[in-house]
Amino acid sequence: MKTRRSDRLVDMARYMLERPRTLISLSYFAKRYDSAKSSISEDLSILKRTFQERGTGLLETVPGAAGGARFVPYMAEDEAKTFIEEIRQDVNDETRVLPGGYVYLSDLLGRPDILRQAGRLIATQYLRDNIDAVMTAATKGVPLAQAVAEQLNVPFVIVRDDAKVTEGPTVSVNYLTGSSKRVEKMELSRRSLRTGSRVLVVDDFMKAGGTIQGMQTLVSEFDGTVVGTAVFAEGRSATRLLDRFTSLLHVDTNLKNGEPILVTAGNYLQEIYKREA
């Protein structure tokens, strides 16, 4: 049964939104809706215009017989600024400060609305990059890594300090925790990451960066490449083991002036949007 344009638009929007970065052929849509390819092309122009006007993402069209369209989600600068200011206010709350200057974030990193936006924002930085997998450290990095992986539509892998029997053979590396100068071990299931992968490292919180440096070492053990490193929040640190990373928030606790917490925007906005400017 031939489908009306309005019905096609609704279903095509859903279909493409659920499959970011995947090329969908004109033929597939033509068959799915029993419609001419010329009609599908017009539909795609409407989708492209709307996604662009609303700052939802790019709709890239690939011409030719094997052509089609690919939806690449991004977040426009205005929405990004609003989002970062919202989470900044949310985190800038002295009841979040725990003994030792740690900050409670688990509630925010358990909220689908925040994760969806954070994932879309982080994916925006890698709009033009090929990424094969997202890597994070158990347990608290998982939600954000999953959210980013959804937007990039690639698998995510979880590095653990205590790989269980259900992981099978693992590759392990030792790393130096930046804060306490202890040597720790982290492992990744051999089977979970393909050799030579291009990897985006994601974590919830970074102080000196020891865990992240460990993950970078692990990527090289898989002959892979670290495409980038993104964290939800960076803390203050006397020593910093790495300098190339982006953060949504900067969190400082136990300040000299007696304030319990001061949260400011991280370096993300500069890093993402400078390239467009």
Q: Which amino acid is at 117?
A: Q
* Cis bond upstream, residue 139 (ω within 30): yes
Q: How far apart are CA 7 and CA 33, in angstroms?
A: 9
Q: Is 105 in the site for a copy of itself (CB under 8 A)?
A: yes
Q: Is 79 in the site for a copy of itself (CB under 8 A)?
A: no
Scanning 84-92, 122-130, 164-172, 176-184 for contacts with a copy of itself by CB under 8 A, the matching segment is 164-172
Phi, psi for residue 269 in degrees, rounded to 5: -60, -45
**Please, which residue, 102 or 271, has the CB nearer to a copy of itself?**
102
- By the 10 Å C-beta count (0-12 exposed, 13-18 middle, 19+ buried), 17 is classed as middle
How far, in Å, CA of 136 to CA of 160, rounded? 9
> In the structure encoding, which two tokens stand for residue 62, read together?
């690939």
* Contacts to a copy of itself from residues 169-198, by CB under 8 A: 189, 191-192
Residues 37, 27 contacting (CB under 8 angstroms): yes
The site map against a copy of itself for 134-153 (x = CB under 8 A) is ----xxx-xx--xx-xx--x
Options 37, 160, 198, 240; binder of a copy of itself; rule CB under 8 A: 160
Q: Any contact of residue 102 with a copy of itself (CB under 8 A)?
A: yes
Query: Under the rule (CB under 8 A), what is the footprint of a copy of itself?
Result: 5-7, 9-11, 13-14, 17-19, 46-47, 49-51, 53-54, 56, 98-100, 102-107, 110-113, 115-116, 138-140, 142-143, 146-147, 149-150, 153-158, 160, 164-168, 189, 191-192, 205
